[in-house]
Amino acid sequence: MKHKLIFILLPVSLLAQAALFNTGFEEADWRTLWNDYDNNPAGSNDLIADPGPFNTPGNHVMRLRSPAGARGGADLVKVLSSTYTRVYARWYQKWETGYNFSAGCHNGGLHAGNRNYLGSSDNRPTGSDWFSAWLEPCGENRFHFYAYYRGMFMDCANPVGSCWGDHLPCMIGSGYCTKPVYNAPPMPLPPAPVAGQWYCIEIMADAGVATTDTSSVRPQGILNFWVDGVEYGPFENLWLRTSDAIKIGILYLSLFNHDNTHSTEGIMVDEVAVSTNYIGPKAGVERHSPELLSPAALGGKAAVYDLRGRKMQSLEGLPNGLYFIRLPGTNSPVTIKRVVLK
Ligand SMILES: [Ca+2]
């Protein structure tokens, strides 16, 4: 007997959220919401009509495209009204159909410290200047953090030699992935995005303890991320800062390409939210790939309950009906309604 599984995400973000920023790009004066020095010119930043992640008639999204035939990028910079030790940012992102994933690239994320360090590379932050955590598929195919911070260790020969950001999780081999604790966990691997499909991306950065001496003080910085409500971290005890003054204050949505090999097609973003609490996918019915949420992909991390709240021993062999899968999350586990059709 063939079983069909349908997964539906329920609106369960019930925790009070300290919203710091929200936009669905439906504001006519959208440019005034952002703080880019270049004021987001047409051609790189275009508000376009697109049904978006929820197939909504009349919806608008922001399209970011790199300048044709050249190194460069397009971005959106939001300077929050204050700075914070822990920040969550959630947005929906789609790589346009035709996007060339093999071109060298970077995407964006959260930034702490002076905004003029945005996009910096080649040098280790001192810990009293800045740190950043971008979520991207670049160089790995699968989603991972690309992070610059005081304690970065993977490919940083400073003060003599080049210095590049850490990959978390690290999936590009033992030459780069030098600390097993931060290497790809056995289950589940983050997905590899494909063009033409919307992804719900959420990242969290916690600046941790400011210290100059990690031999006596645990730095306790944390990075974590979720794709379509599934958690792929956390990455803990990172040494992100040496000064309490370095806190998270900027959302940076970005497409950057290293050279002229990139496609005309770029990325689209929509439904952006920033909070001091876990946000989760936008409330409503969403499609999830059965593959992403299969029992095998979930490993032992999910708990299954029936409609009366009774915990089930296994996903296998359940009779036809509705079940809830509780996924592990830092603050607000996502609940998935699973429909078993036989
Ligand atoms: Ca929109």
What pLDDT band is residue 286 in, cutting at 50, 70 and 90? very low
Q: Output the CA 70–ligand 1 centroid distance in Å.
A: 29
pLDDT at 253 over 60: yes
- Nearest-angstrom CA–CA distance, 83 and 134: 18
What does DSSP assign to residue 298?
A: H
pLDDT at 289 over 50: no
Q: How far is the CA of 26 from the centre of ligand 1 (A)?
A: 5
On the question of pLDDT at 332 being above 50, the answer is no
State the Cα angle at 281 between 283 and 325, rounded to 5°.
90
Domain boundaries, the chain: 1-13+283-342, 18-275
Q: What tens digit of pLDDT does each residue of 168-188 get?
A: 999 988 888 888 888 877 668
Q: How many Cα atoms occupy the beta-carbon half-sphere of 79 within 13 Å? A: 9
Q: What percent of the chain has pLDDT over 90?
A: 67
The pLDDT of residue 321: 63
- SS3 assignment, position 33: helix
pLDDT score at 33: 97
Question: For residue range 31-67, what is the model confidence (pLDDT) as tens digits?
Answer: 999 999 999 999 999 999 999 999 999 999 999 999 9
Predicted confidence at residue 158, as pLDDT, reads 73
pLDDT at 234 > cutoff 70: yes
- pLDDT-based confidence at residue 71 (cuts at 50, 70, 90): very high
Contact 51, 268 (CB under 8 A): no
CA distance 217 to 239: 10
Residue 323 has pLDDT above 90, yes or no: no
Question: Residue 247 C-alpha to ligand 1 middle, in angstroms?
Answer: 29
> Distance between alpha carbon 308 and the CA centroid of its chain, in Å?
33
**Distance in Å, CA 289 to ligand 1 centroid:** 23
d(CA 77, CA 275): 16
CATH architecture of the domain with residue range 18-275? Sandwich (2.60)
Question: Tokens 């940076």 map to which residue?
Answer: 252
Question: What pLDDT is recorded for position 8?
Answer: 47
Cα of 31 vs centre of ligand 1, distance in Å, is: 14
The environment of the single-atom ion ligand 1, i.e. residues with CB closer than 5 A, is 24-25, 59-60, 270
Distance CA 66, CA 341 (A): 45
Model pTM score: 0.80
- Given its phi and psi angles, is residue 316 left (phi above 0), alpha (psi -120 to 50 degrees) or beta? beta
**Quick one: average pLDDT of 149-177?**
87
- Residue 251's pLDDT is 98
Q: How many residues does the chain have?
A: 342
Question: What's the 54 CA to ligand 1 centre distance in angstroms?
Answer: 9
